[in-house]
Amino acid sequence: MSTASKRLAVDVGGTFTDLCLLDEATGRIEIAKTPSTPDPIDGVLRGVAELGVALADVAVFSHGTTVATNALLTRRLPRAAMVNTRGFRDVIEIRRGWKNELWDAYRDVAPPYIRRRDRFEVRERVDYAGQVLEPLDLAEARALAAKLRRRGVESIAVCLMNAHANPAHERALREVLAAELPDARISLSSEVLPEIFEHERFSTTVGNAVLAPLVADYVKRLESRLRADGYAGDLLILHSGGGVMTPSSVERLAVRLASSGIAAGAIASRHIAAEAGFPNAIGLDMGGTSTDISLTYQGETRVTKEWYVEFGYPICFPSIEVLTIGAGGGSLAWIDDAGSLRNGPQSAGADPGPACYGRGGEAPTNTDANLVLGRLGEQLIGGAMRLDRAAAQRAIEERVAKPLGLDLREAASAMLRVANANMADAVRLLSVRRGYDPREFALVVFGGAGPLHGAFLARELSIPTVLVPPHPGITSALGCLLVDIEHDLSTMLLGRADELAPDALETRFRALEDEARALLDREAVPPEQQAIRRSIDMRYAGQWRSLTIPVGRPIESLDDAVAAFHAEHAREHNYRRDAAPVEVYRLGVRAVGQVPKPGLARAARGAGRAEPVGERPVWFDGFDRALATPIFARAALAAGASFEGPAVVEQLDSTVVVPPGAHARVDEWGNLRIRVS
């Protein structure tokens, strides 16, 4: 085989590290799944060893990681400080005054990532238009720098009021701090997020500051170990916006990795649906603890510009909009004080895990319910793991069936119906609430548990088609192979659309584009692979929220953009005000370094008739007895194979359930298409 002819994608999760190896010459994919390790790099290299691939033969190494997300959740963060304009160090703690649970007086928002004793003030003031009202006190700044050095600060967030309008004081402060703390990482709010709202700007900058030392060190160590093992290409790290960054960009904008792993699944579901001919798709990634839901409309995945890992501390970079709920194979069934059956968000986790794992778990989970109903077999991962049916029955009987006066099968079925209802409600939040009709979408289900529930969810939501990819358990890793290098830049520009001069807009856009191309040049992206996309954030005058409207170049008039805004507002919010003045809020540029996409091999075509490898009784709602259900081996299903439900399809990384009345067929890409009546 010629040198550097393969692409390797790695998705590191909390429990497993998934690897996907693509041979560019044949389009064939090999997969591996290995337990994650305390140092994620050890798990990555162990998975590479299990695949048996030489890193010298790898042309592209793409990586999604939960390192940043886990650091924010666990609060295992480096010593960081924050520097503010005098009188504003508590903005980050006052926030917007909102609470996640509005009526719970006893539930407080999590504390800021930087404690109050580590937040400092300097004398300076700039007004809203960028005019200096009070110069930066350099003597005070030097004294503060000396104090931070004595405290052993590793990272500093510089967040001055109105720095988005004039960054001069932040830049001067950086020079003073860097002279005293040459090894500290310094994040300026005017560079991280040059936008008007101070809490959002400060919060994003603080997130960048606390993550920069951790993420940069992780990326540097991973790159070094890959180089030592023979990898010669760029290490590409997936960021929240659905693109990848090189290590040099990660050091500058580490906070963009705070939802790295979650974005990969959304990208993969969009690609799988597009190949199958569905421009509209809902992705459902159901693992052991949670379910991640994404939406693609007309080939574009929904993006949000405000999200968070912990409520109250927004990160305001464009990010693929993913709704995560506590519903997974390990979600616990429980009965509340009113006697109602609930499901999740508590989870049995990986240890002890569901009762059927035989590791000491006693609470019933969705995995236990699927096993009791026969939807899951008693062996998983190709026989490497055996499930204890008796333990699952005992857990459901004692904690659900007896308290509710149900028999065992009724209790197990009720558990799954509640779990499915929770997921269906989440899908409605991301679709119906946004003005989309689920009946116009395909449902792409993946993750270890997604194919068990996909067809039942589709029925509840009236979605006609379910797509199960060939390797559901590693689909997120596949998503890492399908992304481009991307950078998002923005600048504030407030003004009415009918009063702004097109020439002025064009000038601002060109300045952003020059900066964007410089970033791509720094990452060695050839000019012919560079693409620049423009957008304008618009709103009705007086509104708080804005909508992002793509625009072309050059800007000669805003009439088309305003018309597109009215139409998008009607779709998103179900009303429009054509006579109301429209206001421009922000200009945005997305710089794309196009990475050649891999060509996936098509599935071999077979005779068309699928032959089961066995049979077992499976319980389905609406039947008073278990149905004799054929069991199919996924590896033996060639393209064109079809069968009617009820049926169960088993494979190494997942199990697919096809309920009665549904029809399944293997398409040319190896996806299992389930048509739900």
How high does pLDDT run on average in the chain?
90
The answer to whether the CB of 551 falls within 8 A of the CB of 534 is yes
In the chain, pLDDT over 90 holds for what percent of residues? 57
- From the options 2.60.40, 2.40.50, 1.10.10, 3.30.1490, give the CATH code of 484-593: 3.30.1490
pLDDT in tens, 315-362: 988 888 888 888 888 899 999 999 999 998 888 876 788 999 888 889
Highest-scoring range by mean pLDDT, 45-54, 319-328, 363-372? 363-372
Q: pLDDT class for 382, splitting at 50, 70, 90?
A: low
The answer to whether the CB of 65 falls within 8 A of the CB of 260 is yes
**Structure token pair of residue 35:** 């337990």
Q: pLDDT class for 153, splitting at 50, 70, 90?
A: very high
In the chain, pLDDT over 70 holds for what percent of residues? 97
**DSSP letter, residue 241:** T
The answer to whether the CB of 156 falls within 8 A of the CB of 81 is yes
pLDDT in tens, 411-458: 999 999 999 999 999 999 999 988 899 999 999 999 889 999 999 999
Q: Where are the alpha helices (DSSP H) in 229-353?
A: 247-252, 260-275
Segments making up each domain of the chain, as ranges: 72-215, 484-593
- The residue-averaged pLDDT of 281-296 equals 90
Contacts of 319 (CB under 8 A, 6+ apart): 240, 241, 259, 263, 303, 304, 305, 307
Angle, helices 408-430 vs 450-461, to 10°: value is: 70
Judged against a pLDDT cut of 70, whether residue 639 lies above it is answered with yes
The answer to whether the CB of 78 falls within 8 A of the CB of 213 is yes
**Structure token pair of residue 590:** 């997305």
- The residue-averaged pLDDT of 242-250 equals 83
Judged against a pLDDT cut of 80, whether residue 585 lies above it is answered with yes
Judged against a pLDDT cut of 90, whether residue 643 lies above it is answered with yes
Does the CA dihedral 374-380-382-385 come out positive or negative?
A: negative
Residue 30 dihedral angles phi and psi, to the nearest 5° = -115, 145
Judged against a pLDDT cut of 70, whether residue 368 lies above it is answered with yes
> What's the pLDDT at 473?
82
Least Cα distance to 656 among 363, 346, 443 occurs for 443
> What's the pLDDT at 365?
94
Calpha distance 38→183 (Å, rounded): 26
Calpha distance 267→273 (Å, rounded): 10
> What's the pLDDT at 486?
84
Contacts of 197 (CB under 8 A, 6+ apart): none
Q: pLDDT class for 279, splitting at 50, 70, 90?
A: very high
Highest-scoring range by mean pLDDT, 139-153, 246-260, 261-275, 546-560? 139-153
The residue among 480 and 185 whose pLDDT is bigger is 185
Least Cα distance to 657 among 625, 635, 631 occurs for 631
> What's the pLDDT at 435?
86
Judged against a pLDDT cut of 50, whether residue 2 lies above it is answered with no
